[in-house]
Structure 1
Amino acid sequence: MGDELNVTYITLSGYVELSKYRYLYFFIIFTAYILIISCNSTVMYLIWIHKNLHEPMYIFIAALLLNSVLYSTSVYPKLLIDLLSEKQIISYSACLFQFHLFYSLAGSEFLLLAAMAYDRYVSICKPLQYAAIMRKTTVCISVGSAWIVPACHIAVPAILSAETKLCNFTFKAVFCNNSIYKLQCVISRVITVYGIVVLLDLVVVPSLFIIFTYTKIFIISFRSCGEVRKKAVETCLPHLLVLISFTCLIAYDVSIARVDSNFPQTARFIMTLQVVLYHPLLNPLIYGLKMKEIFKHLKRLFCPAKII
Structure 2
Amino acid sequence: MAAYNLTSSDPSTFILKGIPGLEAAHIWISIPFSMFYLISLLGNFTVLFVVSKEQTLHKPMFLLLCMLVRTDIGLSTCVVPKALCIFWFRSKGITVDGCLTQMFFLSAVATMQSAILVTMALDRYVAICEPLRYATILTNARIAKLGLVGLIRAVLLILPQPLLLRRLPFCANHVIPHTYCEHMAVAKMSCGDTTVNRTYGLVLIFVVIGLDLTLIGLSYGLIIRAVLRLSSKKVHQKALNTCTAHICVMLMSYIPYLFSALTHRFGQGIATHIHVLLANLYILVPPMLNPIIYGVKTKELRDKVGKYTCRM
Q: Scaled by the length of structure 1, what TM-score is found?
A: 0.90
Give the match for residue 273 of structure 1.
Answer: 280
Secondary structure of 2:265's partner? coil
Aligned residue in 1 for 2:225? 219
Deviates more, 1:294-303 or 1:94-103: 294-303
* More deviation, 46-55/6-15: 6-15
Greater shift, 82-91 or 213-222, is seen at: 82-91
1:284 counterpart = 2:291: yes
CA 1:267–1:192 in 2, change beyond 3 Å: closer, same or farther? Answer: closer
1:164 corresponds, among 163, 168, 176, to 168
CA RMSD in angstroms comes to: 2.3
Please say which of residues 267-276 and 242-251 is displaced more in the overlay.
267-276
Where does structure 1 lack aligned partners over 5 or more consecutive residues?
none
In 1, Cα distance between equivalents of 2:136 and 2:309: 36
- Give the alignment of 1:124-273 within 5 angstroms: 124-167=128-171, 168-178=173-183, 179-224=185-230, 225-226=232-233, 228-259=235-266, 263-273=270-280
Aligned with 1:166: secondary structure? coil
What is the alpha-carbon distance in structure 2 between the residues aligned to residue 187 and residue 6 of structure 1?
Answer: 21
Deviations 1:64-107 (A, max 9, x none): 01110011111111112222333512112211111111111111
How far the C-alpha of 1:18 sits from its partner, in A, is 6.0
1:92 counterpart residue number? 96
Q: Distance in 1 between matches of 2:119 and 2:177?
A: 35
Give the fraction of aligned pairs with identical amino acids, expressed as a percent: 24
Contact map agreement 1:150 1:202 (CA 8 A) in 2: no
Distance 2:295 2:115 in 1: 21
> 1:18, 1:83 within 8 Å by CA — same for their partners in 2?
no
Structure 1 pair 196–255 and aligned structure 2 pair: CA distance change class (3 A) = closer
Q: 1 CA distance for matches of 2:157 and 2:235? A: 38
Q: Find the aligned partners of 1:220 and 1:194 in 2 and give their Cα distance.
A: 38
Name the aligned partner's letter for residue 286 of structure 2. H
The alignment status of 1:12 with 2:16, answered yes or no, reads: yes
Q: Distance in 2 between matches of 1:261 and 1:61?
A: 37
Do the aligned partners of residues 136 and 266 (structure 1) sit closer, same or farther apart at CA in structure 2, a change above 3 Å counting? closer
- Asked if the contact 1:181/1:187 (under 8 Å) is kept, the reply is no
- Most deviating of 295-304 and 88-97: 295-304
State the TM-score, normalizing by the size of structure 2: 0.89
Q: Residue 14 of structure 1 contacts residue 265 of structure 1 at CA under 8 Å; is this kept in 2?
A: no
Amino acid at match of 2:259: Y
| Uncovered stretches (5+) of structure 2, i.e. residues with no partner | 1-5
Between the two proteins, the alignment pairs up a number of residues equal to 304
What corresponds to 2:3 in structure 1?
none
Shift of 1:60: 0.3
CA distance in 1, matches of 2:66, 2:295: 11
Question: Partners in 1 of 2:71 and 2:280 — Cα distance?
Answer: 18
Deviation larger for 247-256 or 264-273? 264-273
1:260, distance to aligned residue in structure 2 (A):
5.6
1:226 to 1:97, Cα distance in 2 relative to 1, 3 A: same
